[in-house]
Amino acid sequence: MTLSSLSSHELDFIDDDEFHEECGVVGIWTTQDAASLTALGLHALQHRGQEASGIVTYDGNQFHTHRGLGLVGEVFDDPRVIASLPGGMGIGHNRYATTGETQLRNVQPLYGDFEFGGFAVAHNGNLTNAQLLKQSLVRRGCLFQSSTDSEVFIHLIAISLYSNVIDRFIDAIKQVQGAYSLVALSKDMLIAARDPLGVRPLILGKLPYSQDENSWVVASETCALSSMGADFVRDIEPGEVIIIDHDGVRSIHPFADNTSSRFCIFEYVYFARPDSVIENKSVYMARKKIGAELAKESHVEADVVVPVPDSGVPAAIGYAEASNIPFELGIIRSHYIGRTFIEPTDQIRNLGVKLKHATNRAVINGKRVILIDDSIVRGTTSKKIVEMVRAAGATEVHLRIASPPTQHSCFYGIDTPAEEKLLAHTHSIDEMCKLIGADSLGFVSADGLYRALQEDKRNNQNPQYCDACFTGDYPIPLTDHDMQLVKSK
């Protein structure tokens, strides 16, 4: 692999102080060119995973697969690749590894030949009992070809005693714990499913311009629909299984009444693309409202509000509007560092933040600055950005964060450090402020975050979202993690 195609893990000398996106999935049913549309959708979902990408299509006779390491534009840069994926049905996947190393064998969609024919699956999320299930499956003779938890679905479907694809699929998802949004493809149907708590997003859309009126799209976010000119139909519900075939769309609710919404609140804070709409909420407007709540809760007198780009921009706009302080782009981000040709020496590691961000001295020099960022992970990036802003002439630097302190690891599909490496887990806010070097530090409260999302406040008895990274309230059992803790004692 060349330096020009380094994965995000291999570039962690630059971005190891950020939360990393999970994965993105796309499914297309009965259009004339499923591969091209799937690739367009994956381009729009590139923010959800930059390590690898893959597409599987079916042309009515056989399945076709292309997977590779790198960005969508790199994996599918040759028109001959798309031409090698004929068919009107397809699924695609962008990967950021939360389980399993970065190798081609872990790139999704995963495909298997079953007695009922070919079957491909793509998964966004993380299973919390994957290791326990894998041990059981290996004892039964299953041979795993990858180290990703997503392969568990393939083997559970393979050994199921049910006769048809849907019953096997439902049998499989009833055995897993964790967060999952799935798209799967057989020769007869496209299947989409969300876990019973709907932690990860998944939406249904329609292609209005297709010659076939029965043309549908499933994707992680609405921004994928926009890229291919599809219309939004609705969010797929928690615990719902959607089956799309030649008869149209039908819905199954295999978990009966054991479903409720605990959607990942961090999608609104950081992960989803700002132009997406999730659960009837504009992500962009939600982030602006979070910024406004932040201004109400921890305002400080200053001359200018400056976002840490790009994720801090909407919240900074909301903060500026609520506080009547001018908004300025005091930090400019380079969008090309992910493809650096520079060898990552120790000196470059120390300059990593400066490679990614540059200060706009004209709007910072001599000013009291309020810096707005989405979160603090390890704190190393925040410290360097505060130093950069001071070096650009700021007289005061007040750091405001558009989420509560991140004190706990995520086990549901977001790549986060271990708790002991999260700054907020080991330090008080005052200690964090001193370490980072800001004049003051403030976070939006959990209730403020909920108010921004049109809730009165967090219901401690029945939280409306999954906010485990802030509260430690994990709504899904952490079976594998708990087993490891027991073994380590």
- Indicate if 23 belongs to the active site: yes
Query: Given the structure tokens 């091209």, which residue do they identify?
Result: 36
Cα-only R_g, the chain:
23
Distance CA 48, CA 70 (A): 13
Q: Work out the pLDDT band at 340, boundaries 50, 70, 90.
A: very low
pLDDT band of 326, cuts 50, 70, 90: very high
The catalytically annotated residue of 23, 410, 433, 466 is 23
Whether the predicted pLDDT of 174 surpasses 60: yes
Confidence of residue 34 (pLDDT cuts 50, 70, 90): very high
In this structure, which amino acid lies at residue 6? L
pLDDT in tens, 43-56: 999 999 999 999 99
pLDDT of residue 82: 96
Q: What local confidence, expressed as pLDDT, does residue 356 receive? A: 78
Residue 352 or residue 476, greater confidence: 476
Q: Could you give the domains of the chain?
A: 9-261 (3.60.20.10), 282-465 (3.40.50.2020)
Using CA atoms, how far apart are residues 223 and 392, in angstroms rounded to an integer? 36
Distance CA 100, CA 480 (A): 15
Among candidate residues 219, 172, 207, 166, the one with its CA nearest the CA of residue 188 = 166
- Give me the helix-helix angle, 479-488 and 130-139, nearest 10°: 80
Of 23-27, 303-307, 346-350, minimum mean pLDDT range: 346-350
Q: Across residues 124-144, what is the average pLDDT?
A: 94
* Average pLDDT value over all residues in the chain: 90
What pLDDT score was predicted for residue 485? 76
CB atoms inside a 10 Å sphere around CB 435:
15
Mapping DSSP to helix (H, G, I), strand (E, B) and coil, where does residue 25 land?
strand
Question: Of 83, 57, 53, 85, which is closest to residue 70 (Cα–Cα)?
Answer: 53
Cβ-proximal residues to 23 (8 Å cutoff; 6+ apart), any chain: 48, 49, 93, 94, 95, 96, 98, 108, 122, 123, 124, 125, 220, 413
Residue 376 has pLDDT above 70, yes or no: yes
Q: What is the pLDDT at residue 257?
A: 73
**The dihedral of CA 457, 460, 462, 465: what is its sign?**
positive
Write down the number of H helices and E strands in the chain. 20, 23
Verify cis geometry, omega within 30 degrees of 0, for the bond prior to 447. Answer: no
Q: What is the DSSP letter of 269?
A: I
Tell me: pLDDT of 341 over 60.
Answer: no
SS3 3: helix
Residues sharing a CB contact under 8 Å with residue 138, sequence separation 6 or more, in sequence order: 144
For residue 13, give every residue at least 6 positions away whose Cβ sits within 8 Å of its Cβ, in sequence order, or none.
344, 348, 349, 352
Whole-prediction pTM:
0.90
